[in-house]
Structure 1
């Protein structure tokens, strides 16, 4: 399954398994772990495995996430957004301005690299010697690529009870982000149908 840095960033807000919402970036330690676990996705910035987040970097990443989740909410409209932070999102204009400004912190010029016997690929060389700024800019560019690409049309907010994730729809009938959410949604529908039937049955009173 394809992985997108922007979607993974948005998914740091998730259901905690107990009826609440967990934030994987709630602490600097959590942010460090998240960055290092996704070093393979952030190929156009310094080795993410060597970055240790402090409170300032954590705050910068969470503000970028807020912008990304705002634009994800716009992308799935008129369907409802994830309920996790729907009341705390930026305006669309603020989110766009923030995303673009973070991406612009690292000036890069795309370079084509085409080794013999291999496929061509794009490199983004940078003279900036600041791993944290390069990380933030890479995350912002990844979000721009995601939102301007075809996967935006397939972005959905999972509607399963208690789920707060966004996901990219991989086939025509997909309604939920993962099978466990589908099971939970079907169980909830069954429960509601049973109670509606019971409430309407005079023999039950």
Structure 2
């Protein structure tokens, strides 16, 4: 199960050497956007500007604030809980960003009729608009109730709980959490 909004908020993650931000520079932003080009409505040669990167990071922080609210009363991701905007500010930014890049269905007729979705917005607004719309759709969906924060040591990711006993975002995090618990229990 893949959700664009989960991929987006997961551009902040932790490794053994510390936190990693995929969107820390325009090159990283460009690479991430190209990986998601079809979902974002981008052309293959897309290149992010520093301004777009900064606006996208601001949007990501707003989406992460909404995710933190969605998992409450569980704790939010430890990655940036203290750096997130207030709920009202985050909600307003996500809604305004989605509204700034309207899309409309268009009929294509090349032998057989087909529908495509187009936007008259430029690539920057379109990218951020699609990310905001994906967050809106996810947070309004039934899957939102399955959103969790991984509580494994050093993990800062959100995930969608796929089965009742799932406690971590991945097998690796589960192994790390069990190893840490074993260490704590046998250290005494």
Q: TM-score, normalised by structure 1?
A: 0.84
Provide the C-alpha distance between the structure 2 equivalents of 1:152 and 1:69, rounded to a whole number of angstroms: 13
Change over 3 Å in CA distance of 1:166–1:55 after alignment to 2:
same
* Residues 1:86 and 2:89 aligned together: no
Q: Name 1:202's counterpart in structure 2.
A: none
- How many residue pairs get matched? 188
Q: Name 1:76's counterpart in structure 2.
A: 71
Q: List, as ranges, runs of 4+ consecutive aligned residues in structure 1 with deviation greater than 2 Å.
A: 107-113, 121-128
Q: Name 2:134's counterpart in structure 1.
A: 142
Which residue of 39, 46, 70 corresponds with 2:42?
A: 46
Which residue of 156, 159, 167 corresponds with 1:167?
A: 159
The alignment yields a C-alpha RMSD, in angstroms, of 2.3
Task: Find the residue that maps to 1:124 and give its secondary structure.
Answer: strand
Change over 3 Å in CA distance of 1:160–1:40 after alignment to 2:
same
Rg larger in structure: 1
* Residues 1:126 and 2:119 aligned together: yes
Q: Name 2:12's counterpart in structure 1.
A: 13
Provide the C-alpha distance between the structure 2 equivalents of 1:123 and 1:85, rounded to a whole number of angstroms: 37
Q: In the alignment, is the contact (CA less than 8 A) between 2:65 and 2:87 conserved in 1?
A: yes
Q: Name 1:4's counterpart in structure 2.
A: 3
Q: Name 1:28's counterpart in structure 2.
A: 26
Provide the C-alpha distance between the structure 1 equivalents of 2:95 and 2:11, rounded to a whole number of angstroms: 21
Query: Deviation at 1:126?
Result: 2.3
Which residue of 174, 186, 189 corresponds with 2:178?
A: 186
Segments of 5+ residues of structure 1 without an aligned counterpart are: 199-205
Q: In the alignment, is the contact (CA less than 8 A) between 2:26 and 2:50 conserved in 1?
A: yes
| CA deviation string 1:72-131 (max 9, x = no partner) | 000110000111100011111000000011111122235689xxx9xxx97433233x11
Q: In the alignment, is the contact (CA less than 8 A) between 2:12 and 2:21 conserved in 1?
A: yes
Higher strand residue share:
2
| CA deviation string 1:175-200 (max 9, x = no partner) | 000001000000011111112xx3xx
Provide the C-alpha distance between the structure 2 equivalents of 1:83 and 1:122, rounded to a whole number of angstroms: 42
Q: Name 2:51's counterpart in structure 1.
A: 56
Segments of 5+ residues of structure 2 without an aligned counterpart are: none
